[in-house]
Amino acid sequence: MHETAHLLLALFVIFVAAQVGAEIAQRLKLPGVVGEITAGCIIGPSALGWLASAEIAVGTPLDMLAEIGVVLLLFSVGLETRLDDLRKVGRSAFLVGTLGVIMPFVLGALWAHGSGFDWVRSMFVAAAFVATSAGITARVLQELGVLNQIESRVILGAAVIDDILAMLLLGVVTSLQGGKGVDLTSLALVLLQATGFVFVIALVGTRVMRARGYWLNRPINPLSPLTIALAICLGLAWLSTEFGLAAIIGAFLAGMIASEIPQREELEHQMQPLLALLTPFFFVLTGAKIDLSVFNSTAALTMLGIVTLIAIVSKLIGGGLGALSLGRRSALIVGIGMVPRGEVGIVIASLGLTAGVFSNDIYAVIVAMSLLTSVVTPPLLSMMFKRAGRNASKAN
């Protein structure tokens, strides 16, 4: 009984901290996720200590709840991603997405290797530089009311491609990390296995869903499309770990497959309460795992500055170059729009910490970098769109 009571208190504290943090962040015009992570920092072991380190370690009930939260989050991101949309978005989006992955990856790997990591670890660190947070970008664009403008479409299309490339990259890097010895044959096998899994699930799954999606209505359960989709999500999340990929990749694929059924909007709608309950545990625990004492040193603060600068500049260059055909100002807007890292970068950092690849220092720095990029983007994007709007009005 006492154990249950203690756990309920922890659930309550985490959940309320997340709500308060998100509310304050949003009143300050920042994404809610920034507030949830900050709340985690504050109530975590390195500040108030309302959560103990042992309570949030891997395999604990709270950690599993966080894991379920992030699995559901990536499932819902997948739900907003259709295979066809990837084909429809033009050359610009593809260029922006690809260059926006390559630049941060290369610059990140160079920096990490320069800081003394071996190449495999450097690639893991670099992978955390890559993924644009489609969620944060989309939320900002929506708030500005510019979702129908060409830059927004390119950003969103590119963010999708970016996400998938980042997932692939993460899968490959995780496998490499797991394999340790870099034997070329096994490397090829690992790569083939991982990409094979992704492509088979994406292509076959999508077709099956299109052709047989009505099967999801057959069960008596009135919530049936949701329950079957959740079963697929949990199943693929587990299966992808069997293929050496992260659980969230399977969850993302499950979402992308499920987006093919006619009840897709209903599913997205039904996912909202699930995300509202469970994702706060992921973000608060993310924040709670940051060892704030790391930032007591000038060295760490310098590292944070450099990492954040690399993260911003690499996306500006990569994204901007890809969108140059739209004109300079639009290219700049697109570049800025690609800057925010969020969930995925933090997820990769968490994986790195769990796998023992990242030290507490580099974990704290990467999570802080994700925070900073998310904090910097909204006002910049807002400024650029307003200026562009004024010029456009003048031109009319």
Q: Which residues bind its own copies (CB under 8 A)?
A: 1, 3-5, 7-9, 11-12, 15-16, 19, 22-23, 26-27, 32, 58-61, 63-65, 67-68, 71, 219-221, 223, 226-228, 230-231, 234-235, 237-238, 241-242, 247, 270-274, 276-277, 354-355
Residue closer to its own copies by CB (options 193, 354) is 354
* Least spacing, CB of residue 155 vs its own copies, in Å: 22
**Shortest Å, Cβ 232 to its own copies:** 9
Shortest distance, CB of residue 212 to its own copies, whole angstroms?
Answer: 17
- Exposed/middle/buried for 268, CB within 10 Å: 0-12, 13-18, 19+? middle
For its own copies, give the closer residue by CB, 98 or 227: 227
Residue 228: CB atoms within 10 Å: 18
Judged by CB, which is closer to its own copies: 116, or 273? 273
Q: Give the largest Cα separation in the chain, rounded.
A: 70
Closer Cβ to its own copies, 34 or 336, answer by number: 34
Residue 158: closest CA among 346, 358, 331, 365: 331
Residue closer to its own copies by CB (options 65, 294) is 65
Nearest distance from C-beta of residue 111 to its own copies, angstroms: 26
Structure tokens at 253: 């694929």
- 20 CB-near residues (< 8 Å, 6+ apart): 35, 39
Helix-strand-coil percent breakdown of the chain, rounded to 5?
80, 0, 20
User: Closest distance between its own copies and the C-beta of residue 257, in Å?
Assistant: 16
End-to-end CA distance of the chain: 70
For residue 380, the minimal CB distance to its own copies (Å) is 21
| Residue 341 to residue 331: CA distance in whole angstroms | 19
In angstroms, give the least distance from the CB of 305 to its own copies: 31
Decide whether 38 or 308 has the Cβ nearer to its own copies: 38
Q: Which two three-digit tokens encode residue 267?
A: 């599913």
Residues in the chain, total: 396
| Alpha-carbon span 355 to 367, nearest angstrom | 16
Tokens representing residue 255 in the block = 């979402």
Residue closer to its own copies (CB basis): 7 or 150: 7
For residue 28, the minimal CB distance to its own copies (Å) is: 11
Residue 180: CB minimum distance to its own copies, A: 14
What is the nearest approach in angstroms of its own copies to the Cβ of residue 314? Answer: 28
Please give the structure tokens belonging to residue 133: 């947070």
In the complex with its own copies, the residue whose CB is nearer, 114 or 273, is 273
How many angstroms separate the CA atoms of 231 and 239, rounded? 12
Decide if 46 contacts 292 (C-beta within 8 A).
yes
Whole-angstrom distance, CA of residue 308 vs CA of residue 295 = 14
- Closer Cβ to its own copies, 239 or 290, answer by number: 239
Do residues 282 and 62 lie in contact, with contact meaning Cβ atoms separated by under 8 Å? no
How far is the C-alpha of 227 from the C-alpha of 96, rounded, in Å? Answer: 36
Residue number with CB closer to its own copies (124 or 295): 124
Asked if 275 contacts 72 with a C-beta cutoff of 8 angstroms, the reply is: yes
What gap in Å lies between CA 39 and CA 44, rounded to an integer? 8
